[in-house]
Amino acid sequence: MDIPLELKILNNEMMKFIFKHEKEGKKCTCNLDLDMVVKIYGDEEQQQIEIEQELETIEPGQIYVSGQCIGSGYFSQVFIGTHNNIQVACKRYPMKGDTFYNETANLKLLAPHQSFPTLHGILKLGIFYYIIMELVNGITLENYLNTNPNPVELFSVLRKIVKALVYMHSIGVTHANISTSNILVYRFGNKCRIKFVDFAFSRNNDPHEEIKCKGKIEYIAPELRDKSQTRADLNEKTDVYSFSVVLKKILASNILRDNFLRIDWFSIYSNCSDASQSKRPTFEEILKCLS
């Protein structure tokens, strides 16, 4: 059986990603299994057509995509581009598969909220497909925590993160890849704001759909590890567990614990990281604890 061109491209992209990171001394593994192939070439075609019809298709002559890569993941890279005289982020995929449609559909749903990037449209350029979105001029939460932020600002950033997650789940979106690398912190006047990025593995639909959890293992809820899951297994409480790891990293410097003594930080963290999904709080409950 001939291998489709799209899969050949995907395989080449994965190999380049692995080679680059192993040269830097990082061990990487990528598995392309039959389930993924079925997902890409399966019965989601009609849903994907409907998603595309709701999005603006940007013509190649309307945009410039530079060769400046500002981020890369398992199956995509992000480049800086120019569209309508503004800089934009151009997320490149080697094929229009499951992750491409997850990201576009959920960014469209989340677009009205300031804590998520604005979606401008989609682009076919050469053999690649791009999601064109707002370019966030900020740094990852991981890097922000290394700047020794003042307590009031850091507490404000934490509350903004939780408020964004409350909104996300109020409209039925599960991020599924929350980490300090996927939250950007940026300046707006004299205040800090946040934006969640990387919705490639997010879900908002079919509860029977089989999924594969990606991302750093420490952020993945224990009930999702080492087994097949469906959308029904992926929900607010699995995102809460991922948030607990983010919270742990925020609290590591003691900045908040030393300055907001009225808050029971240990209880919030231990409840969010509980091995039992049913015992974890909702994001609404977490926000009340931070009031």
**What pLDDT does residue 1 have?**
44
Residue 99 structure tokens: 């992750």
Please give the class, per CATH, of domain 139-289. mainly alpha
DSSP string for residues in 189-200: TTEEEEEE---T
How far apart, in whole angstroms, are the C-alpha atoms of residue 260 and residue 251? Answer: 11
Residue 95 structure tokens: 């094929």
Its pTM surpasses 0.95: no
- Per-residue pLDDT tens listing for the chain (291 residues): 445 555 556 666 666 666 665 655 555 555 555 555 555 555 556 656 666 667 789 999 999 999 999 998 777 999 999 999 999 999 999 887 778 888 899 999 998 899 999 999 999 999 899 999 999 999 999 999 999 999 999 999 999 999 999 999 999 999 989 999 999 999 998 999 999 999 877 766 555 555 566 668 899 999 888 666 666 678 999 999 999 999 999 999 999 999 999 999 999 999 999 999 999 999 999 999 998
Residue numbers belonging to the annotated binding site: 96
Candidate CATH numbers 3.30.200.20, 3.40.50.300, 2.30.130.30, 3.40.605.10; the one for domain 5-134: 3.30.200.20
**What residues contact residue 224 under an 8 Å CB cut-off, 6+ apart?**
213, 233, 234, 238
**What pLDDT does residue 4 have?**
54
Domain boundaries, the chain: 5-134, 139-289
Residue numbers belonging to the annotated binding site for ATP: 96
